[in-house]
Structure formats: C-alpha cells, structure tokens
Amino acid sequence: MQPLEILGTALGLINLWLTIRQNIWCWPVGIACVICFAFVFYDARLYSDLLLQFAYIGLQAYGWWRWLATGHRGMQSTAPVRVLSNATRLLWCIGIAAAALTLGHAMASFTKADLPYLDATPTAISLAAQWLQARKVIDSWLMFIVANLIFIGIYAVKGLYVTIALYVASSALAVAGFIAWRRTLSVAVD
C-alpha cells in the first residue's frame, strides 16, 4: 500500500462527493487525485491506466472551464443536466469499442503492459464518461459504474487493494450521483 494510493483514494472520494453536488471544486480536487494515481499506475505497469490519468488532467481542466463558462452560482454549477438520445448512445458505444481495441492493440504491441486489452476497455469507457460528465450528461454516471466494475477486477489481480476500495466506493457514489443528477435532469437531449 503506497502513501500516494491512499492520498489518491481520499482525493477521489472527495472529488466524487463534490461532483454529485455539482460543486465546481470537484475539478481541481480531481486533478490532484489523478496526479497521485499516475504514479500508482506507473509503478503497477498498468500503462493504459497511466495514460488515462494524463488524459484526465486535460478533461478535468476542461470540465472545470466548462462548468464555470456555462453558469454557476457561487461554487454550484447551474448548467442543466442532460441525457443522451438512443442514437447518440449507440455512437458512443461504437466509439468506445473502437478506442478500446485500438488502445489494447497498441499496449500489447508496443509495451510490456499487463492485461492490455482488459485494461484498455474501462480506460476507453472512462474517457468517454469523463467527457460527458464535464458536459453534465447523466449517462456518464452509468458509464463510470461499468468501467469501475471492470477496474475492480483488474486491481484485484494487481493487488491494489486500497484502489479497489476507492472503486467500490466510487461505484456506490456513481449510483448516488445518477440519482441526484436525475432529480435535476432537464428535458434536453444531446
């Protein structure tokens, strides 16, 4: 158990709690969290997860900017929560599958990554979910739940038990986030 894994876990839980509440501070806390996990995943040779952390830094910055730009009252985002249309969901699924296969192939071909295809799948799902969460799309919570369940299995194989605890808690918080955001859901469809 690494100190950075523990710190990243604590920051991750705070990030989720703030995100559920649509508090703009979720984004800088998220950036600190992913920096911690970049080191954890590098050490565990989970290179898709490592790349995910770098992408998350950019996506966290984008989310922070977007929530500020689309309206806020104090630290509370006032942008409406939205839902994807069925056609858009299908397009996201196709894109995620293609990204997972491409990333898995790259990791299998060019690195010594452990579990390259399995690790690439929740990575691709998480990237899509993070983008959609920055745009306050409720479907992002469901995507995070699916990704978290896959990650939990991977981290069990790698012995990252504190991280497993984070992802179990994250899954429960994602359910809570879905319910909380559903209460404020606008009728707009992306």
Q: What is the pLDDT of residues 75-89, one digit of tens each?
A: 888 888 999 999 999
Contacts 24+ apart (CB under 8 A), 71-80: 72/24, 75/23, 75/24, 75/25, 76/21, 76/22, 76/23, 76/24, 77/22, 77/23, 77/24, 77/136, 79/136, 80/136, 80/184, 80/186, 80/188
User: Would you state the pLDDT for residue 154?
Assistant: 94
Confidence band for 37, pLDDT divided at 50, 70 and 90: very high
| pLDDT tens digit sequence for 119-177 | 999 999 999 999 999 999 999 999 999 999 999 999 999 888 888 988 999 999 999 99
pTM of the model as a whole: 0.87
User: Would you state the pLDDT for residue 186?
Assistant: 63
| pLDDT tens digit sequence for 137-152 | 999 999 999 999 999 9
User: Would you state the pLDDT for residue 188?
Assistant: 55
